[in-house]
Structure 1
Amino acid sequence: MKKLFILYFLLLSAGMQSQSLLIPDRVFDGETLFTNWIVVVDGNQIEYTGPLDKCPIKTIKDTILLKGMTLLPGIIEGHSHLLLHPYNETSWNDQVLKESPAERAIRGTVYARRSLLAGITTMRDLGAEGAGYTDVYLKKTIDEGIIPGPRLLVAGPAIVATGAYGPKGFHEGVAVPLGAETVSGIDEAIKTVRRQIGNGSDFIKVYADYRWNTGEPAQPTFLQNEIEAMVATAESTGRYVVAHASTPEGIRRAVLAGVETIEHGDLGTIKEFNLMKENDVAFCPTLAAGEAVEQYGGWIKGKDPVPKRIILKKASFEEALKSGVEIVFGGDVGVFSHGENYREMELMVEYGMTPLAVLQSATSINARVFHLDRLGRIRKGLLADIIAVQGDPTKDISAIKSVKFVMKDGEIYLGDK
């Protein structure tokens, strides 16, 4: 501690430049936990990370003491819907049918700020759910500094097979807005992917399976060659495709077609997860959304019997862990409250992962899977997306709820400035 304060006063007294010195109790760099480390930020980049006595920088303007805290890369949320809010507030159907894109955009600005202050500095948004390209423009306003929020990667409307999505329950003479864009056949699929990318989608989301009618179990939707055509089209533009897939056959078709991540995978077996691993396809399990939906239906966790859906989900997640498939952090937030992304991390631990593995998933693994080369780690030369939480989340993942400091792109949004 004496050495720390000697360095602190030495650097502070010489300070003239625009660097900031961050002094926490611990640093999780996206892979490993270190003690007695500091981090120096210069502008929007990390300039140094390592032991106190090896810091080569002698002039630092600002010093921020983060006593009792763990510094870590900004959390990368892998599956979100900023244009949705919890279904126990308003059903999905009513959000699509009764809330205008303007209202949903306004809500989205609130949820973006809430997410950032919860330590989420990057979000992959998996579809506007009936709000067109509103997510594209939400991203634009954040990028232009009009509103605060995480870095966004957005899918736009998402793509579904004709007849396989909702809202449903209307006779054939009633035209209603759908939660995604419908296509049939290879030509339509290619045209739609190109149009969505031209309209600002960062990647393409497809529904490899879904319920054809209300109350029915999910079934495959697209043929494998239709997904292959969408993957080839997206990849030719430097983008990629992700797939909503819960059934074994839906997962199989999507994986063999070349998607990069499988979302949900509720009914996946060891066979499908092994196939994913063999093809370098990552898995986003969205555990928190499943539990939230059951609770909206009346389930009281810890008191009532565990619903079949949760039993099956736990079993499939256990198989995924056994397979060694890359698991990315993403809770389907929007189904539950924005800013409570930690719920997914807590469930990942409850369902069998270590806290360290969960933190790696939410930082360096997500950065790698999502092609974010300058994010997800605390390392010299990378962008300064950094948060601090009270306590040690590598021992108790619930510490991730106690966010005390948020820096995105070198700018402080929460904590001492």
Structure 2
Amino acid sequence: MTKPCRLLAALLLLVPGIAFAQKAAVLLVPDRVFTATDRAMHEGWKVLVADGRIVAVGPDVAAPAGAETRALPGTTLLPGLIDLHVHLFLHPYDETSWNDQVMKEPLALRTARAVAHARATLMAGFTTVRDLGTEGAGEADAGLKQAIQQGIVPGPRLFIAGRALVATGAYGPKGYAYDVPQGAEEASGEGIVAAVRRQIAHGADWVKFYADYRWGPGEPSRATFSIDELAAGIAAAHDAGRKVAVHASTPEGMRRAILAGADTIEHGNDATPAVFALMKARNVAFCPTLAATDAIARYGGWSGGAPEPEPVRAKRASYAAALESGVRMCVGGDTGVFAHGANAREIALMAAWGMKPLDALWTATAGNAALLELGDEIGAIAPGRIADLVAVTGDPARDIGALERVAMVMQRGHLVRAPGE
């Protein structure tokens, strides 16, 4: 990890720890533990937590004098789950269209929704998320992040991307006879580096680019930024110790982003085996956002059966190619397109569409933590790690739907959702 990244990670982890420090030790006794230090379930294991950290894990861990023992019968204990593609300032498109959310909903309303979304996310067992753009809500994510860090409102550990960056004229809303608010910051040419630095100055932990988009209604997506433009912006972000996520659905948009140095590619709807081979060669991670494609198809009337709509068939094909290629995967559902708190849909679909359930669980915990360069702090149940923990009823290795049956959530050793709540 670079020195700026280490400093940023330390600052992000330090502040909330003050608010949630735990004094008394707690011994958690579930039926089984998924540590994410390997890809196996450990029956009969226990976990000891004290002062916001994991102290011990294993079959023979005993409660020290004065510790509380909390039995969690019928449950599996997991590291706090991580969603690397959310939009806390959006809500499901079958409630209000994206255009109307950006154009008609006042910032105060969108911020109030985001506060509720953050709480729902945490209660669902997702203790860390990466928000990839406020979609017209400016830098309101920075204020939400501060409110969570200061313990003013409950929510997950939050990594933000601010307004995100689009090529001038490429995004929306469009079709109006006058200038309207845009869902991201427009930039082109020499202005890209300045835009990256401006977003970082306003609090962005990650920088997000849209490498392709639809220039007009009814048109297919096309690459927008040139390789040189992307490379300049990505270099500026990396110089500042920030990683870069790139929205790219087309093979050409993905190719340009990969060659320019992107850290993660989001969506990849029409990706080819050749593109995934290039991603693997350059160690670029892939966030397939299966749940967003599924949700949008259902909003259009699809019930989930055969025949599948073309976007779903294409998504299945690209995801299968990604799995076949061995490219590094991440879990991020584009949550906000569908309901916050339903984040586990992405993990379930990744398993249903071909990934082994234990691999999906590992990707949503240790794998995602490594992408955030916080693998030594979160994403696993091991001595010394931060005590972000979630207990679910059942065994998600046998029934991935168990992730929706959250029994307990612990954040930094602080119980934020108790069994029965």
Which TM-score tier does this pair reach, normalised by the shorter chain? over 0.9
- Which residues of 2 match residues 172-251 of structure 1 at below 5 A? 174-185=178-189, 187-251=190-254
Deviation of 1:59 after TM superposition, in Å, equals: 2.5
Question: Does the aligned pair in 2 maintain the 1:167–1:176 contact within 8 Å?
Answer: yes
2:87 equivalent to 1:85: no
Which residue of 2 is the match for residue 137 of structure 1? 143
Identity of aligned residues (%): 51
Which residue of 2 is the match for residue 151 of structure 1? 157
Q: Output one character per residue of 1:175-207: Cα deviation in whole Å (capped at 9) or x when no partner.
A: 10000000010x211101111001001010000
Label 1:144 to 1:411 Cα distance change in 2 as closer, same or farther (>3 A): same
2:125 equivalent to 1:122: no
Hey, what's the Cα distance between the residues in 2 that align with 1:276 and 1:343?
Answer: 25
Which residue of 2 is the match for residue 9 of structure 1? none
Question: Does the aligned pair in 2 maintain the 1:158–1:206 contact within 8 Å?
Answer: yes
Which residue of 2 is the match for residue 260 of structure 1? 263
1:104 to 78, 102, 110: 110
2:37 equivalent to 1:34: no
Aligned-partner residue type, residue 277 of structure 1: K
Aligned-partner residue type, residue 359 of structure 2: A
Hey, what's the Cα distance between the residues in 1 that align with 2:159 and 2:396?
Answer: 26
Which residue of 1 is the match for residue 4 of structure 2? none
Which residue of 2 is the match for residue 343 of structure 1? 345
Deviation of 1:58 after TM superposition, in Å, equals: 3.0
Query: Which runs of 4 or more aligned residues in structure 1 lie more than 3 Å from their structure 2 counterparts after TM superposition?
Result: none
Mark the runs of 5 or more structure 2 residues left unpaired by the alignment: 1-22
Question: Does the aligned pair in 2 maintain the 1:25–1:66 contact within 8 Å?
Answer: yes
Is the partner of 1:259 in helix, strand or coil?
Answer: coil
Cα RMSD between the aligned structures? 1.2
Hey, what's the Cα distance between the residues in 2 that align with 1:101 and 1:138?
Answer: 12
Deviation of 1:120 after TM superposition, in Å, equals: 0.7
Which residue of 2 is the match for residue 3 of structure 1? none
Deviation of 1:60 after TM superposition, in Å, equals: 4.3
Hey, what's the Cα distance between the residues in 2 that align with 1:60 and 1:191?
Answer: 56
Is the partner of 2:198 in helix, strand or coil?
Answer: helix
2:22 equivalent to 1:20: no
Q: Output one character per residue of 1:79-138: Cα deviation in whole Å (capped at 9) or x when no partner.
A: 100000001100000000001111100000111111111101011101000000111111
Question: Does the aligned pair in 2 maintain the 1:20–1:60 contact within 8 Å?
Answer: no
Aligned-partner residue type, residue 98 of structure 2: W
Is the partner of 1:360 in helix, strand or coil?
Answer: helix
Deviation of 1:266 after TM superposition, in Å, equals: 0.4
Aligned-partner residue type, residue 118 of structure 1: A
Q: Output one character per residue of 1:254-285: Cα deviation in whole Å (capped at 9) or x when no partner.
A: 01111100000000011001111110100000
Q: Output one character per residue of 1:6-54: Cα deviation in whole Å (capped at 9) or x when no partner.
A: xxxxxxxxxxx721110111000013321121111111111111122x5
Which residue of 2 is the match for residue 386 of structure 1? 389
Hey, what's the Cα distance between the residues in 1 that align with 2:35 and 2:290?
Answer: 25
Is the partner of 1:392 in helix, strand or coil?
Answer: coil
Q: Which has the larger radius of gyration?
A: 1
**TM-score for the superposition, normalised by structure 1:** 0.93
Hey, what's the Cα distance between the residues in 2 that align with 1:59 and 1:275?
Answer: 55
Is the partner of 1:407 in helix, strand or coil?
Answer: strand
Which residue of 1 is the match for residue 276 of structure 2? 273
Aligned-partner residue type, residue 307 of structure 1: P
Aligned-partner residue type, residue 239 of structure 2: S
Which residue of 2 is the match for residue 13 of structure 1? none
Label 1:60 to 1:365 Cα distance change in 2 as closer, same or farther (>3 A): farther
Is the partner of 1:77 in helix, strand or coil?
Answer: strand
Hey, what's the Cα distance between the residues in 1 that align with 2:239 and 2:378?
Answer: 24
Which residue of 1 is the match for residue 402 of structure 2? 399
Aligned-partner residue type, residue 220 of structure 2: P
Deviation of 1:402 after TM superposition, in Å, equals: 0.5
Which residue of 2 is the match for residue 14 of structure 1? none
1:324 to 319, 323, 326: 326
Hey, what's the Cα distance between the residues in 1 that align with 2:65 and 2:203?
Answer: 42
2:55 to 37, 41, 47: 47
Hey, what's the Cα distance between the residues in 1 that align with 2:344 and 2:231?
Answer: 34
Deviation of 1:167 after TM superposition, in Å, equals: 0.1
Aligned-partner residue type, residue 342 of structure 2: E
Mark the runs of 5 or more structure 1 residues left unpaired by the alignment: 1-16
Aligned-partner residue type, residue 28 of structure 1: F
Q: Output one character per residue of 1:217-269: Cα deviation in whole Å (capped at 9) or x when no partner.
A: 00000010111111111111111111000000100110111110000000001
Is the partner of 1:382 in helix, strand or coil?
Answer: coil
**TM-score for the superposition, normalised by structure 2:** 0.92
Aligned-partner residue type, residue 393 of structure 1: P
